[in-house]
Amino acid sequence: MPLEIPEVVIDRLPVYFRLLSRIADEGRTVISSQELGDELDVTPAQIRKDLSYFGRFGKQGRGYSVQRLLEELRLILGLDRRWAVVVVGIGRLGRAVASYPGFQSQGFDIIGRYDADPKLIGSEVDGTLVRDVAELEEDLKRSPVDIGIVTVTAPHAQEVADVLTRGGVRAILNYTPTRMQVPEGVELKHINPVIFLQSMTYHLKRRATEREDLRGRTSIAP
């Protein structure tokens, strides 16, 4: 496997994986880069380039084996094994995130829930006890964890990230607005709602423009 695959390519792999899972469910066994490109609206050349980072899957002119590609992506993305996850911050956000369907089935085991609120510590959420975040670092040293999901309030985010990385966690999903600093070698993903809103305003804007056009105007009031 080559050592340096661009992050943007890696970010597209789960999308390929989801699409191919659907295609396999439909009973199809072979797919061309043209068809994959049509589904995702990327050029066939882009598809071939992305997948070429991971070896030779397709035969010229014969398309990709859906099963073979799925299996390879499963291996590449690490979906062939199970990952231990802790959720830190068990307010609504933490509960919402932890109850998301697909964790278990995709190999993610939420093995710990942590909070700092004495009213929550010791209570049961989704069948597991909420533990004191003050014990998190010790717990991580006793039983290693792969991924931390941080759903605390913004002022506590960096502190929690520090505890997680000191405890050996190597991937953090940050739901807080805080820009975390993590040591090199720790993966960090930040969920930014503004990016999601921007792709929706495209549609709102377009419809508003169409309505204005119907009324015979040429510009839109700010």
Among positions 81-120, residues that touch a second copy (CB under 8 A) are: 81-83, 85, 89, 91-97, 99-103, 106-108
DSSP 189: E
Q: Residue from 20, 36, 69, 76 that binds a second copy (CB under 8 A)?
A: 76
In the complex, least distance from residue 6 CB atom to a second copy, rounded to whole angstroms? 4
Amino acid identity, position 175: Y
At closest approach, how far in Å is the CB of 194 from a second copy?
A: 4
The CA distance from 180 to 178, in Å, is 6
Provide φ and ψ at 63, rounded to 5°.
Answer: 80, 180
Cβ closest to a second copy, residue 56 vs residue 196? 196
Q: What's the min distance (Å) between Cβ of 136 and a second copy?
A: 17
Q: Which helix (H) or strand (E) holds 17?
A: helix 7-25
* Dihedral-angle region of residue 216 (phi above 0 means left; psi in -120 to 50 means alpha; beta otherwise): left
Residue 60: CB atoms within 10 A of its CB come to 6
> Which of 17, 36, 165 is closest to 78 using CA atoms?
17
Residue 79 in the binding site for a second copy (CB under 8 A):
yes
CB of 216 to a second copy, least distance (A): 17
Looking at the Cβ atoms of 94 and 167, the one nearer to a second copy is 94
Q: How far is the CB of 82 from a second copy (least distance, A)?
A: 7
Applying the rule CB under 8 A, the residues between 7 and 66 that interact with a second copy are 8-11, 13-15, 17-18, 40-43, 45-46, 49
217 part of the interface to a second copy, by CB under 8 A: no
Q: Is 176 in the site for a second copy (CB under 8 A)?
A: yes
How near is the Cβ of 47 to a second copy at its closest, in Å?
10
Q: Which of 27, 56, 119, 202 binds a second copy (CB under 8 A)?
A: 202
Amino acid at 90: I
3-class DSSP assignment, residue 19: helix
Secondary structure in 3-state letters for 103-150: CCCCCEEEEEEEECCCCCCCCEECCEEEEEHHHHHHHHHHCCCCEEEE
CB nearer to a second copy: give 27 or 119: 119
Residues 135-154 that bind a second copy (CB under 8 A): 146-147, 149, 151-154
Q: How far apart are CA 65 and CA 170, in angstroms?
A: 33
